[in-house]
Each structure stands twice: as C-alpha cells, then as structure tokens.
C-alpha cells in the first residue's frame, strides 16, 4: 500500500509546487495568518475532509478517519511567515512588502495538503485517524503550538509527528535525534539606568554605556567559565542601543539577546549568573538596572520509539540516501509543546537548493522543492509504522 501512496505523492508534486509558490507570494506574519488559514480551510472543504478553524488562534485541524481500526496520529505543519523583505529574483517572489516565507513554512503547508489529498483517496484502506494539524505562529512567542495543546485539540491523539524542510542539509538526507533535537530558546532584556550628561564631563555622570559594554563581555564568561564544559548553551547579544548624539552620555543603555539551552538546570543557572553579573556591574558603576528574562520555547525532545519509526520509514524511501542521528540544533521550535504533551518526533528533511547557500531567515532564502514529497512520504511512513507497533 505504501508504494502506491508514495507513487501518488510523486504524481502530486506539480500541485505541491504550485501551492507552495502561491503561498510564498502571499505570506502572513505570526498571529495575522487569516487569509492563509482560510486558504487551508477551503482546501479541506473542497476535499470533503471535516475540519475545525480558529484552533488555539488561527490554527486549522482536519480529521481523516480511516475505515480500518487504529490509533490517532497528528501530523503538523506550520504556516506563518516572517517580517523580512524578499530579495530573491524568482517568479514566485513575495508580493507582500516586508513579509516573506524565509523558513519554509509555505513548503510545510503544501506538503501536508498534498498528503491529505493522497490519503483521502486511500481512506477505505486507512487504519486509524490522521489529524492534519496546521499550526499558526511558530515564529513568534508564545507561538501557536502551546495554545493548540491547551485548547484540548490533541487530547485524544496518540502521537504527533512533524518535519522541517532544512535548507542547509543536502537533499535526500534526514536528520533526527532519539532524545533532545532542538534547543530551548529564551529572550532577555537588560536596561542599565545611569545618569546622563555632557560628553566633556564624564565624571559628573554614571555612564550607562560603559557599564553595559562591560556586561557584554562579562556575560560571555557565563558559558566559557561558569557552565560545565560538557553541557551545551549559547548566550548571544543581538541588540545594544544607547544614546543618539556624539557628545552626550546616555541616561540608559539597553541590551537584548537570546539564551539557548538543552538542559533546564543550565537554563536556571544562566538566569542566576546573569542576575549576579548585572547586579555587580551596577553596584560598581553606581547605577540601577531592569532585567527581564522571558522563557521561550522549551527544548524539542523526541521520544525514542517514535524517532526510530521515522528512521525506519526514511530508510524505505528511494529518494533518501542518508538517515543520520545528529546532535541537537541550537535553533528553537514550538513543536516542543507537542512532544511534552504526547509521544512524537520531529526531524529535518534535507532541502538544500543548488546554487542557493542562504540560511533560514535570510532575505534570499529558498529551498529545493523536491524535498516536499520526501517529507510527505516520511511522515506517512512513520504514521503507518506507528499503527503497526
């Protein structure tokens, strides 16, 4: 049966490309994906598969019940875009100014829609139930996965599978882990409040820029000198803003950055160490501070049995030449909430496009569309393997 399904997925490849390119031209950012959600709902309406809209926000879940007994499995695809100007020179370039699909979510959506169309044709032979879970707002915390889980929409589900088309991994390669697969992703904001004044008279001020600059260096020592070298963590400062004039010492300086971790104990240690360093720097500089640490998506932790099912499915697909277990990626993903709630696995489907070396979230990002049928086959292969375990 799987051979016939795989063949049908291949036949739908031109339709996948057409849908992906349409979605690429009309992207919507997180929590504003009204038209995209409508497009998805209309697809299921035409296909005759029951669906629910406004799940946890703009989410859409379609339910295909097979005619044979079995368990219920959700297959997830996200559909939000990013506030980035599309700089690619392609016919399907974004038509929405300042918004683009720079992470492949258009491809995830097209993949899942084609898979739904395929499985509708095989409904009579299908064991169990597939929940086609179209999730909004993966790119912006608090994300769409958490409210979908909290809504009770997957309470009845036995497992969840998902993939990310990964543009820096070669086509035909799957990457997965049996345990932690992606890092937890947090955000922090530090505001140093000093005393501004004339640049010619620094002794009459409490220079927030000097204090904040010292902190930029000191905070890097948390990972290099305070954390066990066998643990994994990243602290990156992405924004430093203070003052507007060349001859004025600013009243305040603001630092914004991210912390990535795969161990919640390390996350707690980083928070504590940052607080101590900020407090010490401000005591030394006679300043005050505001420290806001925002816990973001938790680490994506795969369940071993479900990860093995994905690997086994991948090995049976002709277009896949390598299935590799990899170390955790320090990128974040709110798929984490699904595998906290249910057994499941998340994996990368290689989608590197020849001649395009731009990474995810880049204005010239693109991926090899031939990865979409590979992703669809792996997901449905894992589905059938789960039904048999």
Task: Quote the strand ranges of the chain, DSSP E.
Answer: 51-55, 59-65, 68-78, 127-135, 159-166, 173-176, 180-182, 184-193, 197-198, 233-241, 248-249, 252-261, 288-297, 300-301, 322-325, 344-350
Residue 40, SS3 per DSSP: helix
Our answer to whether residue 42 is catalytic in this structure is: no
Q: Return d(Cα 19, Cα 99) in angstroms, integer.
A: 18
Name the residue among 105, 98, 94 with its Cα closest to residue 22. Answer: 94
Query: What is the DSSP-derived secondary structure letter of residue 353?
Result: P
Is residue 139 marked as binding? yes
Q: Tokens 């798929």 label which residue?
A: 335
Q: Return d(Cα 326, Cα 312) in angstroms, integer.
A: 16
Distances from the Cα of 20 to the Cα of 87, 145, 244, 292, angstroms: 17, 22, 44, 39
| Active-site position among 28, 33, 78, 80 | 80
Q: What strand order describes the sheet that includes 233-241?
A: 233-241, 252-261, 184-193, 288-297
Q: Return d(Cα 27, Cα 36) in angstroms, integer.
A: 8
Is residue 362 marked as binding? no
CB 61 within 8 A of CB 149: no
Q: Tokens 């937890």 label which residue?
A: 184
What is the Cα gyration radius of the chain?
23
Is residue 193 marked as binding? no
Is residue 303 marked as binding? no
Residue 36, SS3 per DSSP: helix
Is residue 282 marked as binding? no
Distances from the Cα of 316 to the Cα of 104, 203, 372, angstroms: 25, 71, 16
| Active-site position among 28, 78, 106, 138 | 138
Helix (H) / strand (E) containing 71? strand 68-78
**Pairing between strand 233-241 and 252-261?**
antiparallel
User: Residue 198: beta bridge partners?
Assistant: 248
Our answer to whether residue 80 is catalytic in this structure is: yes
Q: Return d(Cα 332, Cα 20) in angstroms, integer.
A: 23
74 prior amide bond cis, ω within 30: no
Name the residue among 75, 121, 93, 84 with its Cα closest to residue 24. Answer: 93
Catalytic residues: 80, 138
Q: Which residues are annotated as a binding site?
A: 103, 105, 139, 164, 361
Q: Which residues are annotated as a binding site for Mn(2+)?
A: 103, 105, 139, 164, 361
């Amino acid at each position: 049966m799987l051979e016939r399904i795989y063949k049908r997925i291949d036949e739908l490849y031109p339709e996948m490309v057409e849908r992906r390119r349409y979605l690429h031209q009309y992207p919507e950012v997180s929590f504003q994906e009204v038209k995209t959600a409508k497009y998805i709902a209309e697809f299921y309406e035409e296909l005759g598969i029951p669906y629910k809209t406004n799940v946890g926000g703009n989410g859409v879940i379609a339910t295909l019940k097979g005619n044979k007994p079995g368990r219920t499995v959700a297959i997830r695809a996200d559909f939000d875009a990013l506030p980035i100007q599309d700089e690619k020179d392609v016919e399907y370039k974004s038509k929405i100014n300042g918004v683009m699909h720079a992470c492949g979510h258009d491809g995830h959506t097209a993949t899942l829609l084609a898979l739904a169309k395929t499985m509708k044709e095989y409904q009579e032979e299908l064991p169990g139930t597939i929940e086609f879970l179209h999730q909004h707002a993966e790119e912006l915390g608090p994300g769409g996965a958490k409210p979908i889980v909290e809504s009770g929409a997957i309470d009845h589900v036995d497992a969840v599978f998902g993939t990310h088309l990964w543009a820096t991994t070669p086509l035909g390669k799957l990457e997965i882990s049996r345990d932690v697969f992606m890092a937890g992703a947090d955000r922090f904001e530090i505001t140093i409040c000093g005393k501004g004044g004339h640049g010619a008279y620094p002794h009459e001020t409490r220079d927030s820029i000097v204090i904040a600059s010292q902190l930029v260096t000191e905070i890097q020592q948390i990972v290099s000198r305070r954390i066990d070298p066998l643990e994994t963590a990243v602290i990156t400062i992405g924004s430093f803003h203070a003052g507007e004039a060349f001859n004025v010492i600013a009243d305040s300086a603001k630092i914004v950055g991210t912390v990535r971790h795969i161990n919640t104990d390390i996350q707690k240690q980083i928070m504590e160490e940052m607080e101590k360093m900020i407090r010490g720097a401000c005591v030394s500089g006679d300043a005050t501070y505001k420290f806001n640490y925002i816990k973001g998506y938790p680490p994506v932790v795969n369940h071993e049995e479900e990860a093995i099912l994905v690997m086994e499915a991948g090995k049976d697909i002709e277009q896949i030449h390598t299935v590799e277990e990899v170390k955790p990626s320090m990128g974040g993903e709110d798929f984490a909430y699904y595998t906290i709630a249910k057994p499941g696995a998340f994996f990368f489907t290689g989608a590197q496009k020849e001649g395009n070396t731009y990474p995810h979230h880049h204005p010239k990002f693109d991926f090899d569309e031939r990865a979409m049928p590979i992703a669809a086959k792996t997901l449905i292969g894992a589905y059938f393997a789960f039904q048999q375990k």
